[in-house]
Amino acid sequence: MKLCNLLKGVEYSLLFGNEKISLNKIEYDSRKVNKGDAFVCVEGYSTDGHKYAKKAYESGAKLIVCEKDLENIDSYKDCTILKVSNSRRALAKMGANFYENPGDKIKIIGITGTNGKTTTTFMLKSILEEVGYKVGLVGTIANYIGNKKIESHRTTPESLELQKLFKDMVDAKVDYCVMEVSSHSLYLDRVYGIEFSEGIFTNLTQDHLDFHKTFENYYKSKLILFKNSKHSVINLDDSYGSKVSKDIKENILTYGIEKECSLKAENINMHSRGIDFEVEYKGRRESIALNIPGKYNISNALGCIGACILEGIYLKDIKKGLENMKSVPGRCEIVTKDYDLGYDVIVDYAHTPDGLENILNTAREFTKGRLISVFGCGGDRDKTKRPIMGKIGSDLSDIAIITSDNPRTEDPSLIIEDVVEGIEKNNHIVVENRREAIKKSMEIAKKGDVIVVAGKGHEDYQILKNETIHFDEREVIRDIIKELYD
């Protein structure tokens, strides 16, 4: 691609070389650079791409885009060097230009919030497919182009990979992309330049303060989505929902269960395998039966209903789409459905204080015996939430088993100490090995009990020091059932 086409919408100054060149592809990882490529120096949190500009040049980079001055610039012979004010934004615009602006050719619905993003994307995909649209999905569990599943390495990909994914969706004739939009991706400009048809706000509770440092920074990152959305669909039941509404002001549809809003759920009936409720919008009503339990999933459904109404979809079709969705991997997933154990084991991705509180309150609604929780906290992440989660897990469970999650580079026993520090009740057990902790919960379970294994959900790995091991809790639970009952 000619450089002039690659740089449309990018403000830059020429430091060195010739602008009348053509490039093969764009890279921000110097290890992937080949002859004739463009290399964008992106400053990260563990390393800085400017340090690898020379390596990219030696690998054949024809263009280097930087936001800092490079040392010995005269030594970059036969190479063009451009300076920009923000290399992440330049990367996003260049990526969009390189793939012929695919985001303009599909409708994109973005979901942000601490919890509920994944479930909401799956609900939206089910509704839109029910109406006959082909749907792409970008999210934590995996990316999808129609029914084709693509491995996901982070909630929201880096801008260059995201534009490539959009291009693949356009080539596959996708009509809608529904995507989780993380606070990291908003702050780090991974979705810079994208206009969303709808932005959905689910909730905002404590998470990622290791990255954002303050809750206000976390909130401001989330707000970016709605400044770049044609319409905003806001959960007014969440205390930060009204703040978003006031800050955005225009083109807003509000939803909720408790508060007065545009779209409301009423006549709620919750049971162990799902929820029945009525939705009301501008005098129209529809009864909906969700196949997944939990009051918070009504909120997730309402966000989807709001976005789909704005897209002109009828309530009766929205109802069919929601009722056709059987489950979401690792979200309040009852793993023991096919076994007659006398108790149930639920796997859930809850890894925040609010998420843990939600899943335990949901499980309590249909627990006839004791509620047993198994959970821990991840290493190298926000430490302030550990004692908070310890208290929530202990307070809301009859028995809490504190264990390891993804300790990463931290000592698992020290993480557990942080969690236990918040516990006030004498109802907890510490079992550091996660498999043994799950086994312990199943050994002590009695008829009518419910076990909630929280924190990892759909993940099939565990990160220990510098290695990642295979660890799929659904497989682990099935293996333990064989050990205990065969």
Q: Is 75 annotated as a binding residue?
A: no
CB-based contact 85:93 (threshold 8 Å): no
Q: Are strands 263-271 and 274-281 parallel, antiparallel or unpaired?
A: antiparallel
Please indicate if the annotation marks 116 as binding a ligand. Answer: yes
- DSSP calls for 88-100: HHHHHHHHHHHTT
Three-state DSSP state, 430? strand
> Do the annotations mark residue 474 as ligand-binding?
no
Closest CA to 449 of 390, 364, 375, 389: 364
- Residue 155 annotated as binding? yes
Is residue 228 part of an annotated ligand binding site?
no
* Residues contacting 459, CB < 8 A, separation 6+: 330, 349, 471, 472
Query: Is 362 among the annotated ligand-binding positions?
Result: no
**Cα distance between residue 133 and residue 23, in whole Å:** 36
412 is in an annotated binding site: no
Q: Is 327 annotated as a binding residue?
A: no
In the block, residue with structure tokens 């639920």: 346
Was 132 annotated as part of a binding site? no
Instruction: Give the 3-state secondary structure of residue 57.
Output: helix
Residue 156 marked ligand-binding: yes
Ligand-binding annotation for 114, yes or no, is yes
97 is in an annotated binding site: no
140 is in an annotated binding site: no
- If you ran DSSP here, which 8-state letter would residue 201 be given? E
The answer to whether the annotation marks 406 as part of a ligand binding site is yes
**C-alpha distances out from residue 475 to 345, 452, 470, 480, Å:** 12, 15, 10, 9
Q: What is the DSSP string of 344-381?
A: EEEEE---SHHHHHHHHHHHHHT-SS-EEEEE---TTS
CA atoms within 13 A on the CB side of 322: 32
Answer yes or no: is 30 a known binding residue. Answer: yes
Residue with tokens 């009051």: 295
List the binding residues.
Answer: 30, 113-119, 155-156, 182, 190, 381, 405-408, 455, 459
List the binding residues for meso-2,6-diaminopimelate.
Answer: 381, 405-408, 455, 459
List the binding residues for ATP.
Answer: 113-119
